[in-house]
Structure 1
Amino acid sequence: MPTLQLLDAADINPRLWDACICQASNSRSYAYFHYLNAMADRWKALVTDDYQLVMPLPFKQKWGIHYVYRPPFTQQLGIFANNSLCDESVRKECYEKALQLFPYLHYSIDAGSLISLPNLQATAQPNYVLDLSQPYEIICSQYHPSLIRSLKKARHAGLQLQETSLEQAIEWYYAWYHRRIPELKKKDYHRILHASQHTAYYQIHAHQVIDQSGKPLAIAVWLCTSRRRIAILNGCHDKGRRLNAMHFLFDEIIRQSCHTSCMLDFEGSTLPGVARFIRSFGASTETYFTLHANRLPIPFRWMKK
């Protein structure tokens, strides 16, 4: 295997990096250079000298100690390479180097990047995806009866789906949810706007559902490539919940995007109600893992669990 080196983000070649992410068998939009640059406060990466394998490592600093964390709107990262270059011994070397560099790690990865190591705990997390290659009639035949009833109510209310600006979608989401999700600050939402300025490998755009008076009831922000449409942000006004606006939004997107090679990625949730809502569309589970390691000095270890 070529030698792994640790590079600061500023020293990475964006063109070679993105080519690796795009061609990787486990490619994820979250790992593209400009997206990650927008979402992470700071990041480094393990990189082979030919950029055939890369492992992004977003980090922060506290008490003078660097630690790996999960940036906002970045569900999973991992080790990105062609399958033939990323066997178990290679993955082991990557994680061992990462743990030498960062004594604390909270890092979500795709299932293909998983490996068992001492002091590295892995927790399975559900992600939900829907294959859009079939015609709409076949996809909606898998809808749960409760979803069909909800869609009937939404259509009877005269709801409409339309594209909207990212700024407007984020403004509505923040107004509806900033008290419920205080850990997300305005600057975190603005990261989406920054990431959207780069469109070579991905696009970010938004939709909203409005009622008959034109009032927004639900929004969704999408991170898209030709292979996957990810709902990185979606939410509903109280009236939208009563009228099943979010059911309507996803159904309309499925209707517009079906018969393509794209996968609709709902992202995941361990909340039973949210998981039940997503599964009602016939979505299947795609497991990813959250890794946790704590090798901090003893005085700090109990403070960061």
Structure 2
Amino acid sequence: MMMEIRHIPAGSINREEWDSWVTATANRRIYACSVFLDIFAPGWGALVMGSGDAVMPLAVNRKWGISYLFQPVFIQQLGILMKDASVDYTDQFLERVSSTYRFSDIALNEMNDPDPARYHCVNMTNYLLRLDRSYNELAKGYDTNTVRNIRKADRLGVDLRPHEHVDEVVRIFALNGRRLYPNIRNINYSRLEKVLERGLSDGFIEMRGAFSPGGELIAALCMLADYDRHVFFFSANTAEGRNTGAMFLLVDSFIQQYAGSGRTFDFNGSVNPGMARFYKGFGSGAATYSRIRINRLPFPVSLLKG
């Protein structure tokens, strides 16, 4: 017998109970915890099956009097989180989404398997590296370009050390981001700063900077502790950082740190071919998840969200 899926609107969610439900699921993601949703998707709601047997966070926005679901900037995956990994409730949850919201553009997660005959699905690619071996064994999987850039950064005297100046790192990213990612608005950068500051304070984010021999910050990488994963959450790079291979050295330093832990290094994926090559260069393998679009908006509004 199918358990009821109930809708919990914004303002009616017990944060402590919600986080306990997320933590108890087999495919839990820290992105689905209230600390992320409160900052990146204020006004979020949820769908809950049974007593937390499966849950789905809903990033809700409203425009022209219509409530719709969106994928928050800087959050790669959400989707349906389930206690029992052997049972997939994806289509049941998407049916409830479709009946509740006229428009949705959301990313599910790697354990969700939507029916492509019923929903408009786009396959997205993430890159994962199992940290179940020694660093020396993991490094054997690096490609020649990755090895060359690590050695280059080391030879040029790039120095790595902890760095907690969030505003400086976000500013470096935004210098390129405003050109490369025009849809990222000032409010998104402000929210990112809040999450980074909270993560550094609470210990679920570690930020490391790469410095030139003269002591200038030229690149930075923020790693997110996500249950059984270490996630490449956010990075910033300057022209000098790119020229010296600083980001290669930063990623390699975290792989050294986490090697043998049995966890997974999650590169967070990218639709950018250059970034995909960079991630694959460390020996990572591809993992697919779905981006879902549901459009039941009336004509001609439906064309604007097409």
Report the TM-score range of the alignment, normalised by the length of the smaller protein.
Answer: over 0.9
- Equivalent AA in structure 2 for residue 131 of structure 1: R
Structure 2 counterpart of 1:29: 30
- Taking the TM superposition and a 5 Å limit, the aligned residue runs for 1:220-239 are 220-239=221-240
Structure 2 counterpart of 1:65: 66
After superposition, the Cα gap between the structure-2 partners of 1:109 and 1:201, relative to the gap in structure 1 and judged at 3 Å, is farther
- Equivalent AA in structure 2 for residue 234 of structure 1: S
Structure 1 unaligned spans of 5+: none
After superposition, the Cα gap between the structure-2 partners of 1:29 and 1:96, relative to the gap in structure 1 and judged at 3 Å, is same
- Equivalent AA in structure 2 for residue 23 of structure 1: A
Task: Kindly state the Cα deviation for residue 41 of structure 1 after the two structures are TM-superposed.
Answer: 3.6
Structure 2 counterpart of 1:191: 191
Structure 2 counterpart of 1:95: 94
After superposition, the Cα gap between the structure-2 partners of 1:254 and 1:268, relative to the gap in structure 1 and judged at 3 Å, is same
The one-character-per-residue Cα deviations of 1:150-203 (angstroms, maximum 9, x if unpaired) are 111111001111111133322322234333323212321222343353789971
After superposition, the Cα gap between the structure-2 partners of 1:202 and 1:302, relative to the gap in structure 1 and judged at 3 Å, is farther
Question: Which shifted more, 1-10 or 280-289?
Answer: 1-10
Contact 1:20-1:51 within 8 A present in 2 as well: yes
Structure 2 counterpart of 1:56: 57
Task: Kindly state the Cα deviation for residue 119 of structure 1 after the two structures are TM-superposed.
Answer: 4.8
- Equivalent AA in structure 2 for residue 26 of structure 1: N
Other structure's SS at 1:10 match: coil
Task: Kindly state the Cα deviation for residue 264 of structure 1 after the two structures are TM-superposed.
Answer: 1.2
Contact 1:34-1:198 within 8 A present in 2 as well: no
Task: Kindly state the Cα deviation for residue 296 of structure 1 after the two structures are TM-superposed.
Answer: 0.6
Counterpart CA distance in 2 for 1:180 and 1:262 is 32
- Equivalent AA in structure 2 for residue 144 of structure 1: D
Other structure's SS at 2:59 match: strand
Counterpart CA distance in 2 for 1:131 and 1:213 is 36
Contact 2:162-2:209 within 8 A present in 1 as well: yes
TM-score (norm 2): 0.92
Other structure's SS at 1:269 match: coil
Q: Percent identity?
A: 26
After superposition, the Cα gap between the structure-2 partners of 1:11 and 1:114, relative to the gap in structure 1 and judged at 3 Å, is same
Other structure's SS at 1:197 match: helix
- Taking the TM superposition and a 5 Å limit, the aligned residue runs for 1:1-305 are 1-48=2-49, 50-83=51-84, 87-88=87-88, 90-116=89-115, 119-165=118-164, 166-195=166-195, 196-197=197-198, 203-305=204-306
Contact 1:173-1:219 within 8 A present in 2 as well: no
Task: Kindly state the Cα deviation for residue 49 of structure 1 after the two structures are TM-superposed.
Answer: 5.1
Counterpart CA distance in 2 for 1:4 and 1:199 is 35
Contact 1:169-1:206 within 8 A present in 2 as well: no
Counterpart CA distance in 2 for 1:279 and 1:63 is 42
- Equivalent AA in structure 2 for residue 138 of structure 1: E
- Equivalent AA in structure 2 for residue 179 of structure 1: R
- Equivalent AA in structure 2 for residue 214 of structure 1: G
Task: Kindly state the Cα deviation for residue 68 of structure 1 after the two structures are TM-superposed.
Answer: 0.8
Question: Which shifted more, 13-22 or 93-102?
Answer: 13-22
Other structure's SS at 1:112 match: coil
Counterpart CA distance in 1 for 2:253 and 2:206 is 15
After superposition, the Cα gap between the structure-2 partners of 1:273 and 1:91, relative to the gap in structure 1 and judged at 3 Å, is closer
The one-character-per-residue Cα deviations of 1:61-110 (angstroms, maximum 9, x if unpaired) are 111111111001110111112126x734x433211111011111111011
Counterpart CA distance in 2 for 1:128 and 1:220 is 17
After superposition, the Cα gap between the structure-2 partners of 1:22 and 1:138, relative to the gap in structure 1 and judged at 3 Å, is same
After superposition, the Cα gap between the structure-2 partners of 1:297 and 1:119, relative to the gap in structure 1 and judged at 3 Å, is farther
Counterpart CA distance in 2 for 1:148 and 1:3 is 52
Contact 2:200-2:206 within 8 A present in 1 as well: no
Aligned length: 303
Contact 2:11-2:43 within 8 A present in 1 as well: no
Counterpart CA distance in 2 for 1:252 and 1:279 is 16
Counterpart CA distance in 2 for 1:250 and 1:29 is 21
After superposition, the Cα gap between the structure-2 partners of 1:270 and 1:117, relative to the gap in structure 1 and judged at 3 Å, is closer
Task: Kindly state the Cα deviation for residue 122 of structure 1 after the two structures are TM-superposed.
Answer: 1.0
TM-score (norm 1): 0.92
Task: Kindly state the Cα deviation for residue 227 of structure 1 after the two structures are TM-superposed.
Answer: 1.4
Could you say what the CA RMSD is over the residues aligned between the two structures, in angstroms?
2.1
Task: Kindly state the Cα deviation for residue 34 of structure 1 after the two structures are TM-superposed.
Answer: 1.5
